[in-house]
Amino acid sequence: MYRSEYPRPQFVRPDWLNLNGEWSYTFDFGKSGLERGLQNSTGFEGRIQIPFCPESKLSGVAHTDFIPALFYHRTITIPADWKGKRILLHFGAVDYDCRAFVDGKLAGRHIGSSSSFFFDITSLVTAGSTHHLVVYAEDNLRLLTQGGGKQSTHFKSAGCHYTRVTGIWQTVWLEAVAMSGIRSCRVTPNLDDGAFTFTPTFFQTERGLRFHVTVRMGETVVGQATAAANDAVPLTVPLRDIRPWSPEDPFLYDIDYAVEAADGTLLDHATGYAGLRKIHIEGNKYFLNNKEIFLRFVLDQGFYPDGIWTAPSDEALKQDILLSMAAGFNGARLHQKVFEERFHYWADKLGYLTWGEYPSWGMAWTRPGAAETEGNLELSAAAQEASFGNFLMEWPAVMERDFSHPSIISWSPVNETSAILNWEAYRLRMAAVYDLTRRTDPTRPVNETSGYLHVKTDLWTVHVYRQNAEELRKSLVPEDGYPVFRHDPAHEAPYGGQPYFNDEFGGFMFIPPERCKFADNTWGYYGMSLKNEDELCAKIAEQVDTMLAIPQLSGYCYTQLTDVEQEQNGVYNYDRTPKVSDGKLKAIFGKTRP
């Protein structure tokens, strides 16, 4: 079975069924399937491998033209011993408008490209019986109302837009939970006081129920606490043995969660993990565990030649992190994509720092001028409002799912907002985005728009691509005496003393001699391709050395980890094979300040 691993490693229950594998499907090009009653289907002619999108090779379909809608079908058999439990149908992610039906009855609807969700199907199924599951998905990037990230709004991939993703693209699974089981639990680390705070919610609350948390280091219990099982009431567990999580020592505590009835009967049990670490800002410095840190990041877009947005295997997720670390990076900016939970699990395990980001490109409110020039639908106030509303619905759900991962150290809600038609509306929206992000997660710094046109931000990030190191230095340290680079001084907020990052630079194209161009529109920055790996390394090294010598910089992010289709400026090829001899990149990106 494809992607058979447990999809939610921070909160594991034993009663679950993986629904990945072969499903049947049919395209619905006319979007008439619901009228035709396809939700009542008992099977379609086509065959598709889930969780891979139909555009991907691994799906077995590889249809790369636009897919306005499609239906999926498979049968599900509910284990007999799940009787009396709550039955949940989980989706890692479906792009974009998803409806699920059980035996023709609507189980639920979810709108969004990237957030995980579930439908409670308890009333629609019977333990010990088999049922027909039909999933319907609509997707229309050209409306400019949905977060598509780097998916192309044209037939052909071009520039920094690539093959589209439609429908199911992460694991689908069933779970059995006690009626009063734990719905979610935030884990907030408190390094300074040596404790974790757990904030649970429950599927339903009842008088007399107790919530237990036990923290372990291996087999040794180092902290535990009990409280009434009430929604959103924090429970703090002091630790008797303190071991911080860090890139040098990514230690994870094991967590046991339990709900007991008043008579002591165990109703629900789950296991997870947590890392004890602290992120904060003092002035223009960025701190991890109360020590200043310099971020040596790489841009990771999370595309795969055979799976597109979906990694071919769990091991592939892990290997991407190991490849990055082997090149000398201590983390990544996860760019214009919400990565699946298993990626964050491996980042937690391996000590790999990340900034989480929403796939904001393709939404009318973030890049209206750019969308017009790309030949999309004529923009209107309604399209901007609809796209902003869709963003506000999904972005908090993304943060909530990934809140407890210690490897995530900042949030970037949107990327490169530009060409604004209504500056007053833009400023109001960006301030609202910052406030929403901070309210949802007050523990991490917010980079409200990566790159430029800042309104309200904890981090001053710029995207400065320059062909040589001297031009880079002059841009990052302006000769007019202003402390930071500004893309648009007339419109963006004044610099407020935040930590300063060049979170995109480089982009040098080098295609190894045994390789060829991916497409006729292959490109890299500066309109040139370097001749050999030594020339590439020399170009990168002079720019890295330049930035390490700028004391006000707190980090950089190199573009990018791998080639992605026609954008061939990665430090690895698209298939993850090396472009550069072993050790050369680590000697550059692994450098730290004296």
Task: Please spell the DSSP secondary structure of 18-47, one letter per residue.
Answer: E--EEEEEEE-TTS-TTTTTGGG-S--SEE
Alpha carbon distance 40, 591 (integer Å) = 60
User: Is residue 68 over pLDDT 70?
Assistant: yes
Q: How many CB atoms lie within 10 A of CB 77?
A: 13
One-letter amino acid identity for 17? L
Do 463 and 505 form a contact (C-beta atoms < 8 A)? yes
User: How far separated are the first and last CA of the chain, in Å rounded?
Assistant: 49
**Predicted local distance difference test score (pLDDT) of residue 16:** 98
**Predicted local distance difference test score (pLDDT) of residue 408:** 98
Say if pTM beats, i.e. exceeds, 0.85: yes
> Which residue's entry shows tokens 């980090």?
555
Q: For 441-458, what is each residue's pLDDT tens digit? A: 999 999 999 988 999 999
Alpha carbon distance 76, 159 (integer Å) = 42
> Which residue's entry shows tokens 């833009």?
426
User: Is residue 223 over pLDDT 60?
Assistant: yes
User: Is residue 370 over pLDDT 70?
Assistant: no
User: Is residue 371 over pLDDT 60?
Assistant: no
SS3 at position 402: helix
Q: For 89-111, what is each residue's pLDDT tens digit? A: 999 999 999 999 999 999 999 99
Do 558 and 571 form a contact (C-beta atoms < 8 A)? yes
Alpha carbon distance 229, 437 (integer Å) = 27
CA dihedral sign, ordered 171, 177, 181, 187: negative
Determine the average pLDDT of the residues in 334-343. 98
Alpha carbon distance 544, 542 (integer Å) = 6
Q: Which domains occur in the chain, in start order?
A: 16-177 (2.60.120.260), 182-274 (2.60.40.10), 294-503+545-557+575-589 (3.20.20.80)
Q: Which residues contact 365 (CB under 8 A, 6 or more apart)?
A: 384, 385, 387, 388, 391, 429
Q: For 19-66, what is each residue's pLDDT tens digit? A: 999 999 999 999 999 999 999 999 999 999 999 999 999 999 999 999
Do 495 and 483 form a contact (C-beta atoms < 8 A)? yes
Determine the average pLDDT of the residues in 489-507. 96
Give whole-number Cα distances, 130 to 4, 118, 124, 126, in Å.
21, 19, 11, 8
Q: How many CB atoms lie within 10 A of CB 546?
A: 21
User: Is residue 372 over pLDDT 60?
Assistant: no
The two tokens of residue 566 are 């026609």
Alpha carbon distance 87, 176 (integer Å) = 5
Determine the average pLDDT of the residues in 170-190. 98
Alpha carbon distance 211, 405 (integer Å) = 22
Q: Which residues of 106-127 are buried (b: 16+ CB within 10 A; e: fewer)?
A: ebbebbbbbbbbbbebbebbeb
**Predicted local distance difference test score (pLDDT) of residue 379:** 58
**Predicted local distance difference test score (pLDDT) of residue 161:** 96
Share of the chain above pLDDT 90, in %: 92
Per the model's pLDDT, the better-predicted residue between 379 and 250 turns out to be 250
Distance of CA 560 to the CA centre of its chain: 17
Alpha carbon distance 70, 98 (integer Å) = 10
**Predicted local distance difference test score (pLDDT) of residue 528:** 78
pLDDT band at 339 (very low <50, low <70, confident <90, very high): very high
Average pLDDT value for the chain: 95
**φ and ψ at 442, to 5 degrees?**
-80, 0
**φ and ψ at 568, to 5 degrees?**
-105, 60
Distance of CA 51 to the CA centre of its chain: 17
Do 44 and 293 form a contact (C-beta atoms < 8 A)? no
**Predicted local distance difference test score (pLDDT) of residue 452:** 84
Alpha carbon distance 221, 214 (integer Å) = 7
